[in-house]
């Protein structure tokens, strides 16, 4: 049925073109002689009608004029019509010359312009008719859209929105652009209504429902100013992907990207040339623990791009490993990938893996991370985060691992929670082993909250906003350092290249961000207003949480590395007694003897002697 309708439409166009070729020839001859055509030329015209039609239709078929959707006609189609009509006129003139049925030369010129006008006008009419019918076919209550940026990206967005107007039910009202030369201009039928400072007045005057930021290369500061202006406006805010995605055609304008909170980091994103500094991974067997999690899976992705000989992905979460394994095998079919469902607390099983595959580099991302949850499950936090990490650190030394990078957290600084204390204990034990072995190079990476990770505050806020609120914030003054998952992973890989032994690397994450400000920004980005549409509710600080996080403790000095945004806290050289004290802080939270749990009998004898004296 579809093919039948298509052929009917093509037949109608062919008949229309036959009529226009004959009409253009008839009009051209009568215009040339001002309505008084000599009989011999009129007779020649009648004999030339059929050859003219055949020549033109043949050329039109060759140029594919009957296979195009004219409701989407553009300048390209106009150029194609011009070329086809020119070649048809030239072919008709040649036929007239050799068949000795010549008409005055001026007739051929008039014929060319008349046919071009008729043919181009008919196709343009189809486009205009389709636009008109699309407009009439749309239901009432259009979503009125304002586009910020009247450059190439903005014009492209406007064009795509107009094409998809019935489905999206949108109406592009105008552009906002700071370029004074564009003010008052009309671009593709859409006016430039003013500069960014006039945005509130334009939104109110034109009853705007949605604002689309179409400045893909806009710096953070400019984007932030636009967000601040829109904060108090009753509009939804969207943006488009980067300019390179636009140039490559890898975007769908009918599904505009929501402004992500990552775009609002209070600092420029950290850039690391991974390929330059990650040569230590090429051709090596690399083990990633916690590979099913947010950080671990991104580590697998970025490590895989650097040419390891084998990638071992280890996690006790069966589903997490299943999905990351499926993804990695599709993206890197040539890479040897081994998914391992193992628990780092199971030392014999972990040892078998180490002895069988002999990894040369380990990224240790496996840990329990949720602060309030670990307050209620302190024993499990210690078993997994400390004992499990201890298993890996010990086996790395005995199994010939060259480099081990431990993923830590800013919550390990002056810890107030079980989770933070377990991570600090792991740092201390890592540094202890770094001083007492000559085989493996150890280091740790300390960073703040990761945006977009499972269980992150951003994900929680999104869910609460979708449900209509309230958005729950623990305290109006609570602040955190934030970074994106790619930044965190780049820092981890960078640390492996920079690492001396026992050092802790820290990313310069800029100024801490108030959680309540993140909540307000996310509400605004959803096209809503805090307090009016979505309530912000303060729930109180949860067990183990701090109002403020630190990157360094008072005991730690720090220095810069060759990467300007990465700092290093050297080995604090904790004494054995200090190590014991740190571990005892955890012991006070548990019912069982933590020191026995950690197997301190493997540590120096004087620690055990101190323990016996205490008893």
Asked if 209 contacts 219 with a C-beta cutoff of 8 angstroms, the reply is no
DSSP bridge pairs for 449: 482
User: H or E element: which one contains 145?
Assistant: strand 143-148
Alpha-helical regions (H) of 33-100? 39-62, 75-99
CA distance 615 to 613: 5
Tally Cβ neighbours within 10 Å of residue 182. Answer: 16
CA distance 514 to 509: 14
Tally Cβ neighbours within 10 Å of residue 235. Answer: 21
CA distance 535 to 523: 9
Question: Phi first, then psi: what are they for 252, rounded to 5°?
Answer: -120, 105
2: region left, alpha or beta (phi > 0 left; psi from -120 to 50 alpha): alpha
Cα Rg, the chain, nearest whole Å: 35
Torsion 437-441-442-443 (CA) sign: positive
- Is 480 strand, coil or helix? strand
Tell me the two tokens of residue 432.
């202890």
What is the total residue count of the chain? 615
Strands 566-569 and 503-507: antiparallel
255: region left, alpha or beta (phi > 0 left; psi from -120 to 50 alpha): beta
CA distance 29 to 112: 12
Residue that the structure tokens 């999206």 belong to: 168
CA distance 350 to 357: 11
Question: Phi first, then psi: what are they for 213, rounded to 5°?
Answer: -85, 115
User: H or E element: which one contains 523?
Assistant: helix 515-525
Taking the CA atoms of residue 497, residue 503, residue 509 and residue 513 in that order, the dihedral angle to the nearest 10 degrees is 150
Asked if 262 contacts 452 with a C-beta cutoff of 8 angstroms, the reply is yes
Tally Cβ neighbours within 10 Å of residue 98. Answer: 9
Whether 537 is a known active-site residue: answer no
CA distance 601 to 614: 15
Strands 143-148 and 170-176: parallel
Asked if 547 contacts 475 with a C-beta cutoff of 8 angstroms, the reply is yes
> Going along 149-292, which residue ranges are E strands?
170-176, 186-187, 190-194, 210-213, 236-239, 257-258, 285-289
- Is 432 strand, coil or helix? helix
CA distance 97 to 95: 5
CA distance 522 to 102: 75
DSSP bridge pairs for 336: 310
Catalytic option among 236, 383, 390, 411: 411
Catalytic residue set: 411
């Amino acid at each position: 049925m579809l093919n039948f309708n298509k052929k009917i439409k093509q037949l109608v166009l062919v008949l229309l073109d036959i009529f226009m070729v004959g009409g253009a020839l008839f009009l051209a001859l009568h215009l040339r002689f001002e309505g008084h055509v000599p009989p011999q030329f009129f007779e020649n015209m009648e004999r030339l009608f059929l050859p003219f039609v055949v020549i033109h239709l043949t050329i039109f078929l060759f140029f594919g004029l009957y296979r195009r959707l004219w409701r989407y006609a553009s300048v390209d189609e106009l150029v194609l019509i011009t070329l086809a009509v020119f070649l048809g006129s030239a072919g008709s003139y040649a036929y007239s010359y050799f068949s000795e049925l010549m008409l005055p030369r001026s007739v051929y010129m008039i014929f060319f312009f008349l046919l071009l006008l008729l043919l181009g006008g008919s196709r343009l009419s189809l486009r205009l008719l389709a636009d008109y019918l699309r407009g009439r076919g749309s239901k009432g209550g259009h979503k009125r859209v304002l586009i910020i940026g009247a450059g190439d990206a903005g014009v492209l967005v406007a064009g795509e929105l107009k094409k998809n107007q019935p489905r999206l039910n949108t109406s592009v009202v105008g552009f906002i652009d700071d370029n004074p030369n564009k003010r008052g201009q009309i671009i593709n039928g859409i006016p430039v209504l003013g500069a960014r400072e006039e945005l509130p007045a334009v939104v109110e005057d034109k009853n705007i429902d949605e604002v689309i930021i179409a400045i893909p290369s806009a710096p953070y500061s400019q984007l932030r100013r636009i967000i601040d202006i829109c904060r108090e406006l009753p509009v939804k805010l969207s943006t488009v992907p980067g300019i390179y995605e636009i140039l490559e055609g890898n975007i769908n304008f009918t599904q505009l990207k929501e402004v992500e909170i990552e775009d609002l980091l209070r600092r420029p994103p950290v850039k690391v040339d991974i390929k330059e500094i990650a040569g230590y991974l090429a051709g090596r067997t690399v083990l990633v623990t916690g590979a099913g999690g947010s950080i671990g899976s991104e580590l697998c992705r970025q490590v895989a791009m650097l040419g390891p000989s084998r990638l071992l992905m280890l996690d006790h979460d069966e589903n997490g490993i299943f999905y990351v394994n499926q993804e990695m095998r599709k993206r890197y079919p040539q890479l040897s990938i081994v998914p391992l469902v193992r628990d780092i607390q199971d030392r014999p099983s972990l040892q078998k893996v180490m002895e069988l595959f002999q990894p040369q580099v380990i990224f240790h991302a496996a840990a329990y991370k949720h602060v309030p949850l670990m307050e209620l499950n302190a024993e499990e936090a210690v078993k997994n985060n400390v004992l499990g990490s201890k298993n890996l650190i010990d086996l790395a030394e005995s199994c010939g691992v060259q480099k081990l990078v431990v993923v830590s957290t800013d919550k390990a600084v002056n810890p107030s929670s079980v989770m933070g204390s377990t991570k600090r204990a792991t740092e201390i034990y890592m540094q202890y082993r770094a001083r007492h072995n000559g085989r493996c190079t150890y280091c740790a990476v300390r960073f703040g909250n990761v945006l977009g990770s499972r269980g992150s505050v951003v994900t929680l806020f999104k869910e609460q906003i979708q449900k209509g609120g309230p958005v729950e914030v623990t305290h109006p003054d609570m602040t955190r350092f934030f970074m994106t998952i790619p930044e965190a992973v780049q820092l981890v890989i960078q640390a492996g290249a920079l690492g001396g032994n026992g050092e802790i690397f820290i990313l310069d994450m800029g100024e801490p961000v108030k959680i309540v400000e993140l909540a307000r920004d996310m509400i605004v980005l959803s096209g809503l207003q805090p307090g009016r549409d979505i309530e912000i509710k303060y729930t109180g600080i949860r067990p183990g949480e701090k109002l403020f996080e630190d990157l360094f403790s008072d005991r730690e000095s720090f220095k810069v590395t060759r990467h300007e945004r990465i700092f290093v806290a050297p080995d604090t050289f904790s004494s054995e007694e200090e190590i014991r004290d740190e571990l005892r802080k955890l012991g006070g939270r548990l019912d069982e003897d933590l020191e026995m749990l950690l197997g301190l009998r493997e540590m120096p004898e004087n620690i055990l002697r101190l323990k016996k004296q205490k008893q």
